[in-house]
């Protein structure tokens, strides 16, 4: 079987090699992958986490077909990979926060990932994909949709509240706005791209055209430094600002006085729990979640897919194996 090996960071250094399958657990033949910031940054040496092993195989958002029986999973099942490695025994795990496992990390970052044809994964990291979820939907669930959903849970989002979503045309934005709308929130987006329209928002503002007096209960801002401080100005009193990304840098200044005098909160969020993932699949049973696809590349064309990711694109960039 083949896989894309990183010995030196950089898309141009990816090498497609013949490999022996490795890892413990159930073997899964990968059928689809999605390109997300985590993969892109990891391959290009910009990831905020430690990467192991080196040489490395990236790819954290994949689905596939089980090649053998487990306890629950049966050979031939369509499966998605819950991509947090966890030990089930530390304090975080037994408190239901396995995504924060003291001895864990992200599958595809602290282990090899799915930019290879066959992987072996512990059964606790596999979920059978329900029939009502298409392959294109399924491959966007484990990172993009789960991150967006968990962030709204962390923000204690309630029906009727107003949310302002930065990065509205991005992977999490398109999904997060739809999920927020399904959860009964009044959704507004911030994006320069027309693609952001039609995914649950009442209105999409340009970055410089948000009305100065616009206030939301929740501001979701995964963009990092460039808009961190300005986005907080759009919080109501007791508002919550939630972040889970650093695309434009990891250090920002905040107006501490404005923060405490309005009793605002800044909340971090990362990934989500297995329980969140299962709830999300339940939501998707009753509500259609639309996922725009920019382009689909063959597995062997991963470098082309990563180049496409660098360009202005609209929707998800997928790999088909
Ligand atoms: Zn743990």
How far is residue 262's CA from residue 55's CA, in Å, rounded to a whole number?
A: 49
CATH architecture of 2-140+291-320: Alpha-Beta Complex (3.90)
Query: What's the 275 CA to ligand 1 centre distance in angstroms?
Result: 15
Distance CA 160, CA 145 (A): 21
CB 45 within 8 A of CB 14: no
Q: Give 87 Cα–ligand 1 centroid separation in angstroms.
A: 4
CB 298 within 8 A of CB 2: no
Angle at 5 (CA atoms; ends 297, 9), nearest 5 degrees: 95
Question: Which of 118, 124, 139 is CA-nearest to residue 66?
Answer: 118
pLDDT of 47 reads 81
H-run or E-run covering 27: strand 26-34
Task: Report the chain (321 residues): mean pLDDT per 10 consecutive residues.
Answer: 96 96 91 94 89 96 97 98 96 97 96 97 96 96 95 98 96 96 98 92 96 98 95 98 93 96 98 96 95 97 97 93 98
> What does the pLDDT read at residue 171?
87
237: exposed, middle or buried (Cβ count in 10 Å: 0-12, 13-18, 19+) = exposed
Distance 18 CA to ligand 1 centre (A): 33
DSSP bridge pairs for 127? 80
In the structure, ligand 1 is a single-atom ion and the residues with CB under 5 Å from it are 86-87, 90, 93, 101
- Contact call for residues 297 and 175 (beta carbons, < 8 A): no
On whether the CB atoms of residues 267 and 241 are closer than 8 A, the answer is: yes
State the distance from the centre of ligand 1 to the C-alpha of 49, rounded, in angstroms.
Answer: 17
Token pair of 65 as six digits:
């077909």
Distance 271 CA to ligand 1 centre (A): 15
CA distances from 291 to 23, 30, 108, 162, 315 (A): 31, 20, 23, 23, 7
Expressed in angstroms and rounded, the spacing between residue 86 Cα and the centre of ligand 1 is 5
Sign for the CA dihedral angle at 182, 186, 190, 193 comes to: positive
SS3 192: coil
pTM of the model as a whole? 0.94
**Cα(148) to centroid of ligand 1, in Å?**
22
Element (H or E) spanning 37, and its range?
helix 37-43
Q: Ligand 1 centroid to 61 CA: how many Å?
A: 21
Q: Which CATH superfamily is domain 145-268 in?
A: NAD(P)-binding Rossmann-like Domain (3.40.50.720)
């309005």: which residue's tokens? 262
Distance from the alpha carbon of residue 283 to the mean position of ligand 1, in angstroms: 27
What separation in Å is there between the alpha carbon of 104 and the centre of ligand 1? 6
CA of 52 relative to ligand 1 center, distance in Å: 18
Intervals of CATH 3.40.50.720 along the chain: 145-268
> 3-class SS at 71?
coil
Distance from the CA of 124 to the center of ligand 1, in angstroms? Answer: 13
Ramachandran region, residue 278 (left: φ > 0; alpha: ψ -120 to 50; beta: rest):
alpha
CA of 92 to the centre of ligand 1 (A): 6
Measured in Å, residue 110 CA sits from the centre of ligand 1 at 14
CA 102 / ligand 1 centre spacing (Å): 5
Cis peptide before 55 (omega within 30 of 0): yes
Residue ranges of alpha helices (H) inside 155-294 are 171-182, 225-232, 256-261, 274-286
If you measure from the C-alpha of residue 125 to the centroid of ligand 1, how many angstroms do you get, rounded to a whole number?
Answer: 13
- Residue 95 CA to ligand 1 center (angstroms) comes to 9
Specify the 3-state DSSP secondary structure of 130.
coil
Q: How far is the CA of 162 from the centre of ligand 1 (A)?
A: 35
CA 216 to each of CA 188, 219, 220, 275: distance values in angstroms, whole numbers, following the listed order: 9, 6, 10, 28
Cα–Cα distance for residue pair 100/163, rounded to 1 Å: 26
């Amino acid at each position: 079987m083949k896989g894309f090996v990183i010995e030196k960071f950089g898309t141009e250094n990816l090498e497609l090699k013949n490999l022996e399958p490795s890892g413990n657990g159930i073997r899964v033949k990968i059928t689809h992958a999605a390109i997300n910031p985590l993969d892109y940054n990891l391959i290009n040496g910009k990831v905020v986490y430690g990467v192991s092993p080196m040489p490395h195989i990236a790819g954290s958002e994949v689905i596939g077909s089980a090649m053998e029986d487990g306890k629950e999973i049966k050979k031939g099942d369509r499966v998605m990979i819950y991509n947090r490695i966890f030990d089930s025994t530390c304090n975080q795990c037994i408190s239901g926060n396995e995504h924060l496992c003291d001895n864990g990390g992200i599958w595809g970052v602290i282990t090899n990932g799915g930019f290879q044809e066959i992987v072996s994964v512990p059964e606790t990291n596999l979920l059978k994909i329900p029939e009502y979820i298409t392959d294109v939907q399924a491959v966007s669930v484990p990172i993009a949709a789960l991150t967006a959903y968990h962030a709204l849970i962390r923000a204690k989002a309630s029906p009727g509240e107003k949310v302002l979503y930065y990065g509205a045309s991005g992977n999490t934005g398109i999904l997060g706005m739809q999920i927020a709308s399904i959860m009964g929130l009044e959704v507004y987006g911030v994006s320069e791209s027309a693609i952001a329209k039609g995914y649950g928002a009442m209105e999409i503002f340009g970055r410089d055209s948000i009305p100065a007096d616009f206030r939301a209960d929740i501001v979701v801002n995964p963009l990092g430094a460039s808009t961190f401080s300005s986005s907080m100005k759009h919080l109501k009193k007791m508002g919550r600002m939630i972040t889970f990304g650093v695309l434009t840098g990891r250090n920002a200044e905040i107006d501490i006085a404005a923060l405490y005098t309005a009793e605002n909160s800044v909340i971090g969020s990362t990934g989500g729990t297995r329980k969140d993932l299962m709830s999300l699949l339940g939501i998707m049973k009753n509500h259609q979640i639309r996922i725009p696809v920019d382009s689909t590349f063959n597995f062997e064309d991963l470098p082309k897919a990563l180049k496409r990711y660098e360009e202005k694109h609209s929707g998800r960039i997928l790999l088909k194996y």
